[in-house]
Amino acid sequence: MSVLVTGCAGFIGSNVCRMLLEQGQTVEGVDNLNDAYDPRIKRWRLDKLTATPNFRFNNLDISDHAALKPLFETGDPAGEPAFTGVINLGARAGVRPSVEDPWIYYEANTLGTLNLLELCREFGVKKFVLSSTSSVYGDDTPRPFNEDADTSRPLSPYAASKKAAEALVYTYHHLHGIDATVLRYFTVYGPAGRPDMSIFIFVRAIAEGETIQLTGGGKQERDYTYVDDVARGTVAALKPMGYEVINLGNDSPVTVGDTIRMIEHCLEKKAIIEHVPMHPADVQATWADVGRARQLLDWRPEVSVEEGIRRCVDWYRDNREWAKEIR
């Protein structure tokens, strides 16, 4: 028996797979290697996994129910399901692009989640972990964001699609007894991170002498959370808990302007900045209340933003020959 991890070539997904494999688990990975961002970095992550025993890769799209079904049909003839649990990290991420093409976000994030839940129901998989986002809290929620806060006013189709996926997870827990955990991630960053996220963009731009388009004067606050911390919390969420929604954040917001200054310090190079207006889908600040994660998962963030940014810069320097071409 194994754990099914969707989005296995993604930033968080590849690190979750790595941690599961280090624990001796068998991992069935699913990813469609789409071009939402440069697939070269996805293949770099995937190459690290495919060289590891007990990992199998399937190039599949979670919005295609028929393509996924054979994976679940490989259970034990005695009736044991194929997987001890499903971790659904396969998603279209990104606030601003979802405004331009909301349909593809609903196919991946909402329909994809529904397909996986239906297959868990049909084939008796009892544990389901969903990756969600701090974006569901919108811009009117008191900080720090608590899991019980109102999430009925998402500001982007991305956030709305994740909120819809959360609702489906609860429904399947209620109707079919699936043990389900929803994890709300807060601005995850780290080495080999998503090239459409701010820290990767800033590191590359400063290193290469390119201009950073900075919105809101750099005063927005983000609860940057290091990827190893997030992956560790995600693996811990495989434990039986009934139904829970849990924040995974750093509980220590940093302004975007201060983030740029940290990267400048690590690179010993000044940023070239062009100030532009805020995007209407962006939130002003994020800040996670992580009390529930401490209580239920015995989890707390361990990597400071200063240390995490240093590791990002070191990774970029080590891989600059090809990473500088990624957009």
Mean pLDDT of 221-228: 96
For residue 255, what are the β-bridge partners?
221
- Catalytic annotation, pick one of 158, 189, 224, 226: 158
Long-range contacts of the stretch 207-211 (C-beta < 8 A, 24+):
207/267, 207/269, 207/313, 207/316, 207/317, 207/320, 207/324, 208/324, 209/269, 209/272, 210/272, 211/272, 211/273, 211/274
pLDDT value of position 101: 93
DSSP class of residue 240? -
pLDDT at 261: 97
Is 158 labeled as catalytic in the residue annotation?
Answer: yes
SS (H, E, C) 173-189: HHHHCCEEEEEEECCEE
Could you read off the pLDDT of 228-256 as tens digits, one per residue? 999 999 999 999 999 999 999 999 999 99
pLDDT, tens digit, for every residue of 40-53?
Answer: 999 999 999 999 99
- Residues of the chain with pLDDT > 70, as a percent, come to 99
| Model confidence at 139: pLDDT above 80 | yes
What pLDDT was estimated at residue 152? 93
pLDDT of 76 above 80: no
pLDDT at 79 over 80: no
Q: What percent of the chain has pLDDT over 90?
A: 89
- Under 8 Å between Cβ of 176 and 125: no
pTM exceeds 0.85 for this model: yes
More confident residue, 95 or 306: 306
- Can you give the pLDDT at residue 147? 97
* 182/121 Cα distance (integer angstroms): 17
Q: In this model, does residue 327 exceed pLDDT 80?
A: no
- Which pLDDT band holds residue 127 (cuts at 50, 70, 90)? very high
C-alpha–C-alpha distance, residues 122 and 88, integer Å: 17
Q: Given pLDDT bands bounded at 50, 70 and 90, which one contains residue 77?
A: low
How much is the pLDDT for 216? 83
Whole-number Å distance between alpha carbons of 308 and 314: 10
Of the listed ranges 215-224, 232-241, 309-318, the one predicted with least confidence: 215-224
CATH 3.40.50.720 fits 2-189+226-251+287-302, yes or no: yes
| 270-298: pLDDT as tens digits | 999 999 988 887 778 899 999 999 999 99
Degrees, nearest 5: CA angle 217-249-139 = 50
> What ranges do the domains of the chain cover?
2-189+226-251+287-302
Which residues are bridge partners to 71 per DSSP? none
